[in-house]
Amino acid sequence: MDFVKELRWRGMLHDIMPGTEEELNKKMTSGYIGFDPTADSLHVGHLTQIMTLIHFQRAGHKPFALVGGATGMVGDPSGKSAERNLLSEDTLNHNVSCLENQLKKFLDFDCGANSAVMVNNFDWFKNFSFLDFIRDVGKHLTVNYMMAKDSVRKRLEGETGMSFTEFSYQLVQGYDFYYLWKEKNCQVQMGGSDQWGNIVTGTELIRRKSGGSAFALTTQLIKKEDGTKFGKTESGAVWLDPKKTSAYKFYQFWLNTSDEDAKSWIRIFTLKSQQEIELLEVEHNQEPHLRTLQKALAEDITVRTHSEKALETALKTSDFLFGNGSLEFLLELNQSAVLDAFEGIPQFKISNKQLLSGIILTDLLTELTTVFPSKGEARKMIQGGGVSVNKEKVLDSGQTFKLDNLINGQFLIIQKGKKNFYLLIAE
């Protein structure tokens, strides 16, 4: 398998430094991608980078996953219009270990020579003093060079300015590359296209400091066809951690991609072959309403990110919530089967006592649950026809609910809009 070719046909390649492809085709090469520990989980936006490393390893090269315990302390100004808040050391440590655990799922760390390796740049920065750094690293690059970078220039032109800390970021990341190049024979750095500037600082540093050569390659930033940001839903980022984004929601996120996006994303986010994908596309075009591509995409990623079992549950839940005649289906299940099917959607407990006297819908949606943040909002949404209980639209915000509204004597299914469900359990 030819790594660069692979990225090309998948439409992932954005920019590549001259000589990189030749170098990679010569021999097994080590390459790395850095991940910033800005949160305690990776999100779907990181998946492109993860896929890049997977392809890298499948092509017989040795992938390094770098977690930025040190760079995370500085803050990457790339793509940021304002200075960022620094994270505390505790948070950072916690995040680093979370990310490491997630990355372990995707790469093979035990397959001989090209086993993946996990590194944390805090390890080589913790004992690097400020003075040593500015003498050994800072001296090799001019401020002029650093200021020409997009990430810096934009901030200098803008209104917010930029701290020295963030200005230095590229040096810190640049040194990572130098260190890995020198100590681990890591010759290639990869990353999203927004990282080009930072990566080049690294190759430049290697060249000036040691006269060595290193290579770089960046991947396309994922964009949606309609121009909106990839990876966001109404409830925020789509995380890989099932505690932050349930497998059901995760599956739904991918299922809901548009036809256009599905075509490019199935190439980027799955390992399916070109042939396989083209076949799926033909199928999809014949009967677009079946959403063959979206389903294949969603299933593939869900299994690899979570598990076969998680996918099954997600499918079951989706089937139930979006299928037809589903209330009957629910009646046949016992309580644990219901809870299992609803695992991925928000649940609330209410007491039978309250239901005995009847609960007004708006209270139910705001005080007893967090479906809506305020009664006013709940009322407006109900009036707009956006709320259903047990699959039936409710138009009177004053309606009360009692014991006999419960399905199976214990459940109430609240629906906000078309796709947001909540399960209320009475006990």
Would you tell me which residues interact with RNA (CB under 7 A)? 159-161, 225-226, 228, 233-234, 252, 255-260, 288-289, 291, 294, 318-319, 322, 366, 373-377, 379-381, 384-386, 416-420
Indicate if 316 belongs to the active site.
Answer: no
Instruction: Considering the complex, state which of residue 259 and residue 340 has its C-beta at the smaller distance from RNA.
Output: 259
Indicate if 38 belongs to the active site.
Answer: yes
Instruction: Considering the complex, state which of residue 7 and residue 371 has its C-beta at the smaller distance from RNA.
Output: 371
Indicate if 229 belongs to the active site.
Answer: yes
DSSP 221-258: PPB-TTSPBTTEETTEE-BSSTTTS-HHHHHHHHHT--
Torsion, Cα of 41, 66, 193, 148 (10° steps): 120
Indicate if 194 belongs to the active site.
Answer: yes
Whether residue 343 contacts residue 246, with contact meaning beta carbons closer than 8 Å, is answered with yes
Task: State in angstroms the smallest separation of the CB of 379 from RNA.
Answer: 6
Instruction: Considering the complex, state which of residue 208 and residue 316 has its C-beta at the smaller distance from RNA.
Output: 316
| Candidate list 154, 232, 244, 316, residue with the active-site label | 232
Whether residue 362 contacts residue 379, with contact meaning beta carbons closer than 8 Å, is answered with yes
| Candidate list 38, 347, 354, 410, residue with the active-site label | 38
Indicate if 46 belongs to the active site.
Answer: yes
Task: State in angstroms the smallest separation of the CB of 352 from RNA.
Answer: 24
| Strand-pair category, 13-16 with 215-219 | antiparallel
Say how far apart CA 363 and CA 374 lie, in whole Å. 9
Task: State in angstroms the smallest separation of the CB of 398 from RNA.
Answer: 10
Instruction: Considering the complex, state which of residue 89 and residue 260 has its C-beta at the smaller distance from RNA.
Output: 260
Indicate if 410 belongs to the active site.
Answer: no
Instruction: Considering the complex, state which of residue 212 and residue 386 has its C-beta at the smaller distance from RNA.
Output: 386
Indicate if 43 belongs to the active site.
Answer: yes
| Candidate list 135, 153, 229, 402, residue with the active-site label | 229
- E strand or H helix at 14, and its extent? strand 13-16
Count of CA atoms in the C-beta half-sphere (13 A) of 365: 29
Say how far apart CA 196 and CA 147 lie, in whole Å. 14
First to last CA, the chain: 58
Place of tokens 């681990």: 184
Beta bridge partners of 16: 217
| Candidate list 48, 71, 173, 317, residue with the active-site label | 173
Task: State in angstroms the smallest separation of the CB of 74 from RNA.
Answer: 17
Cα angle 14-17-23, degrees, rounded to a multiple of 5? 115
Task: State in angstroms the smallest separation of the CB of 39 from RNA.
Answer: 19
| Candidate list 15, 108, 136, 194, residue with the active-site label | 194
Indicate if 263 belongs to the active site.
Answer: no
Indicate if 309 belongs to the active site.
Answer: no
As annotated, the active-site residues are 38, 43, 46, 80, 84, 173, 194, 229, 232-233
